Amino acid sequence: MSLVYVGFVPHPPILVPEVGHGEEKGCQQTAEAYRTLVQQVIRMNTQTVLIVSPHAQLAEQGLVILDGDSLSGSFSRFGAGQVSLSFETDQQLAETIREKIPDAIPVRAELDHGSLIPLYFLHQAGWSGKIVILSMPMSRPEHYGKKVGQILNDAAERCALIASGDLSHRLKEDGPYGFHPSGPKLDQLIVKGLKRDTTLLRGIPASLLDEAGQCGYHSLLFALGAREGAIKVLSYEGPFGVGYLIAEIFRSSPIAGYARECLTYYLTSQPFDRLNIPGDTLLKEKKGCFVSLKKDGTLRGCIGTIQPVREDLASEIRHNAIAAGTQDPRFWPVQPEELPLISVSVDVLGDTEKITGPEELDPQRYGVVVRRGGKVGLLLPHLEGIDTVEEQVGIAKQKAGIDPGEEVELWRFEVERFFE
């Protein structure tokens, strides 16, 4: 898959020293997180960055795509015209978007600050690839995000999607729009949703969005529609009365790609001595793992090991990937023709820790192991639809064949989740 990274970033011009004149020191947490995010984009060998901006020309229906062989802009509006940027447009990708999304309207315009700020940090980090700039959709942002995400997945080049947007502008009396109680309420809801359950972000009342004075909500939904993975909130702060959030929405991993290759080789009867193992040092460690398969967003198989039973994680993944596709008793074995429709993720388990009771669990952070006699059940953390400890423990008991009312011993563990 060619969509290798999805991120969400703010766009305060004050972050640029020539604009901030020292005031940028008041949001150093945001600046450091920005540098972390763009370094990840560069490490992914990204060739094209697509940016979604709420300050590009907006359309009531559909979205705008900036047209031209190259795109340029400066910070002259903010008193720093000497800071200017220019990037070559990925014309092939832009043309594909126009072909597959008929209501993508081509417009010639300069780069706005919603695009310039992330491009400034990419340029400062040494990145010099091609770009595509889209406006933030005013309606159906997840719909368009999904369409664009599919186009990026099919692209020949490695692509990153960066959604630009600030959160509430009404966090402080001396902020740009004063203070409103809905400002911090909205920001807390968005941060909580990203950390725990993104379903909390859907259907936020329009009245709350209006009262908070935000500009990035639809950009964020666009990013979530494009591809959602193991989300990490890298930073959040509001030093000048505006909420600045930086989050990693998705990052592809060769570890998950390796799991797919293991299953593919098995189903297509290819010799495993030709299978390349990624160079990640984690694969040389001894760790338990679970491999999960999904088809059209629905579970298609999941098999794993709580404790490592093979010589290294690479061997553990190989065995569990094949087992997830062929030995999960809940499903028919995966057929080779299904492989293009299946997504693969790998959960690498940390150490299990015995706990005294359910009050030490958090279904978003910890997986759980329940044990009664010889019956053992496990449930991974951060699963869609599992919101409470009671649900988590209940499902783990059910998997183990333990009656709901029976007492059990409890263990918890954390995971590192990898997506393709």
Binned at pLDDT 50, 70 and 90, residue 1 comes out as: low
Third-level CATH fold of 251-348: Glycoprotein, Type 4 Pilin (3.30.700)
How high does pLDDT run on average in the chain? 94
Domain range list for the chain: 1-247, 251-348, 354-419
* Global model pTM greater than 0.75: yes
Q: Quick check: helix, strand or coil at residue 246?
A: strand
Q: Please, which residues have CB within 8 angstroms of residue 240's CB and are 6 or more apart in sequence? A: 12, 14, 26, 27, 172, 175, 176
Residue-level pLDDT at 413: 95
Mean pLDDT in residue range 4-16: 97
pLDDT band at 237 (very low <50, low <70, confident <90, very high): very high
Helix (H, G, I), strand (E, B) or coil at 110: coil
Give the pLDDT confidence of 73-101 residue by residue, as tens digits.
999 999 999 999 999 999 999 999 999 99
Quote the DSSP letter at residue 188. H
pLDDT confidence of residue 197: 84
**Which long-range CB contacts under 8 A does 72-78 form with residues at least 24 apart?**
72/110, 72/111, 73/110, 73/111, 73/112, 73/113, 73/115, 73/116, 74/110, 74/116, 75/13, 75/16, 75/18, 75/19, 75/113, 75/116, 77/113, 78/13, 78/16, 78/19, 78/113
279 has a pLDDT exceeding 90? no
Does residue 273 carry a pLDDT above 70? yes
- The total of other beta-carbon atoms located within 10 Å of residue 30's CB is 24
pLDDT digits (tens, 9 = 90+) for 105-131: 999 999 999 999 999 999 999 999 999
**Which CATH architecture fits 354-419?**
2-Layer Sandwich (3.30)
**132 band by pLDDT with thresholds 50, 70 and 90:** very high
- The reported pLDDT for the residue numbered 176 is 86
Residue 334 pLDDT > 70: yes
Q: What CA–CA distance (Å, rounded) separates 350 from 353? A: 9
Taking residues 399-404, what's their average pLDDT?
92
Average of per-residue pLDDT across 289-306:
93
Express each pLDDT in 201-228 by its tens digit.
988 999 999 999 999 999 999 999 999 8
DSSP 240: T
The answer to whether 56 and 269 have CB atoms below 8 angstroms apart is no
Report, as an integer, the average pLDDT of 304-322: 95
Asked whether residue 420 carries a pLDDT value surpassing 90, the answer given is no
Instruction: Identify the pLDDT of residue 99.
Output: 96
Q: In percent, how much of the chain has pLDDT > 90?
A: 89
Q: What is the pLDDT of residues 361-370, one digit of tens each?
A: 999 889 999 9
Rounded distance between C-alpha atoms, residue 286 and residue 307, angstroms:
9
Distant-in-sequence, close-in-space partners of 344: CB < 8 Å, separation ≥ 6:
256, 257, 259, 260, 263, 291, 292, 293, 321, 419, 420
Is residue 415 pLDDT above 80, yes or no?
Answer: yes
Q: Provide the terminal-to-terminal Cα distance of the chain, rounded to the nearest Å.
A: 7
Name residues whose C-beta falls within 8 Å of residue 99's C-beta, 6 or more positions apart in sequence: none
Q: What is the CATH code of the structural domain delimited by 1-247?
A: 3.40.830.10
